[in-house]
Amino acid sequence: MNIGLAQFNSVIGDFPGNVKRILAAYRTCLDAGADLVLTPELSLVGYPPRDLVFKSQFVPKCLQALDYLAGEIREVPLLVGYVDHHHPTKPGKPFRNAAAWLENGVIQHRIWKTLLPTYDVFDERRYFEPGDSCEPILWNGHRIGVTICEDIWTETYLQRPFYDRDPIVELTTKGIDLLVNLSASPFHLGKPLLRRAMIGGLARKAKVPVVYCNAVGANDQLVFDGHSMVTTNDGRIHTQLTGFIETCAIVDPFTSAPQTDAPLSSCDAEQLYQALVLGVRDYVTKCGFSTVCLGLSGGIDSALTAAIAADALGPENVHGLTMPSPYSSRGSVEDSFALAKNLGIQCDEVPIKNAFEAIKATMQPLFKDKPEDVTEENMQARLRGLMLMALSNKDNHLLLTTGNKSELAVGYCTIYGDMCGGLAVISDLPKGRVYEVSRWINREREIIPWNTIDKSPSAELRPDQKDQDTLPPYDVLDGILELYVENQLSADEIISRGFEESTVRWVQRRVDLNEWKRHQAAPGLRVTSKAFGIGRRMPIVQKFVG
pLDDT tens sequence across 504-524: 999 999 999 999 999 999 999
For residue 72, the 8-state DSSP code is H
Per-residue pLDDT, averaged over 200-211, amounts to 94
At residue 439 the predicted structure's pLDDT band, cuts being 50, 70 and 90, is very high
Whether 406 shows a pLDDT value over 70: the answer reads yes
Greater pLDDT, 132 or 546: 132
Cα separation, 153 vs 124, whole angstroms: 15
Active site residues: 41, 113, 149
Burial, 275: exposed, middle or buried (Cβ in 10 Å; 0-12, 13-18, 19+)?
Answer: buried
At residue 468 the predicted structure's pLDDT band, cuts being 50, 70 and 90, is confident
Domains with residue ranges and CATH for the chain:
3-255 (3.60.110.10), 272-470 (3.40.50.620)
If we measure between CA atoms, which residue out of 480, 468, 355, 338 comes closest to residue 405? 480
Cα separation, 300 vs 431, whole angstroms: 9
Per-residue pLDDT, averaged over 7-15, amounts to 97
If we measure between CA atoms, which residue out of 55, 57, 54, 80 comes closest to residue 68? 80
pLDDT computed for residue 457 by the predictor: 76
pLDDT computed for residue 460 by the predictor: 67
pLDDT computed for residue 78 by the predictor: 98
Whether 246 shows a pLDDT value over 70: the answer reads yes
Burial, 71: exposed, middle or buried (Cβ in 10 Å; 0-12, 13-18, 19+)?
Answer: exposed
Whether 174 shows a pLDDT value over 60: the answer reads yes
Phi, psi of 442 (to 5 degrees): -90, 20
- Say whether 43 sits in a helix, a strand or coil: coil
Cα separation, 229 vs 112, whole angstroms: 22
Cα separation, 230 vs 285, whole angstroms: 31
At residue 144 the predicted structure's pLDDT band, cuts being 50, 70 and 90, is very high
Lowest mean pLDDT among 13-22, 373-382, 430-439, 465-474: 465-474
pLDDT computed for residue 400 by the predictor: 98
pLDDT tens sequence across 25-60: 999 999 999 999 999 999 999 999 999 999 999 999
Per-residue pLDDT, averaged over 437-466, amounts to 87
What pTM did the predictor assign? 0.95
Whether 466 shows a pLDDT value over 90: the answer reads no
Whether 297 shows a pLDDT value over 70: the answer reads yes
pLDDT computed for residue 88 by the predictor: 77
At residue 535 the predicted structure's pLDDT band, cuts being 50, 70 and 90, is confident
Lowest mean pLDDT among 183-187, 266-270, 428-432: 266-270
Cα separation, 188 vs 165, whole angstroms: 26
Per-residue pLDDT, averaged over 463-470, amounts to 72
Per-residue pLDDT, averaged over 366-394, amounts to 95
At residue 205 the predicted structure's pLDDT band, cuts being 50, 70 and 90, is very high
pLDDT tens sequence across 183-196: 999 999 999 999 99
pLDDT computed for residue 189 by the predictor: 95
DSSP codes joined into one string, 213-250: EE-EEEETTEEEEB--EEE-TTS-EEEEPPBTS-EEEE
User: Across the chain, what does the average pLDDT equal?
Assistant: 93
pLDDT computed for residue 69 by the predictor: 98
pLDDT tens sequence across 210-219: 999 999 999 9
pLDDT computed for residue 470 by the predictor: 78
pLDDT computed for residue 163 by the predictor: 83
At residue 328 the predicted structure's pLDDT band, cuts being 50, 70 and 90, is confident
At residue 419 the predicted structure's pLDDT band, cuts being 50, 70 and 90, is very high
pLDDT computed for residue 91 by the predictor: 86
pLDDT computed for residue 260 by the predictor: 56
Lowest mean pLDDT among 254-258, 380-384, 405-409, 473-477: 254-258
At residue 156 the predicted structure's pLDDT band, cuts being 50, 70 and 90, is low
Adjacent-strand bridge partners of 5: 38, 249
Per-residue pLDDT, averaged over 106-111, amounts to 97
Phi, psi of 422 (to 5 degrees): -105, -20
Whether 323 shows a pLDDT value over 90: the answer reads yes
- Cα distance between the two ends of the chain: 56
Whether 262 shows a pLDDT value over 80: the answer reads no
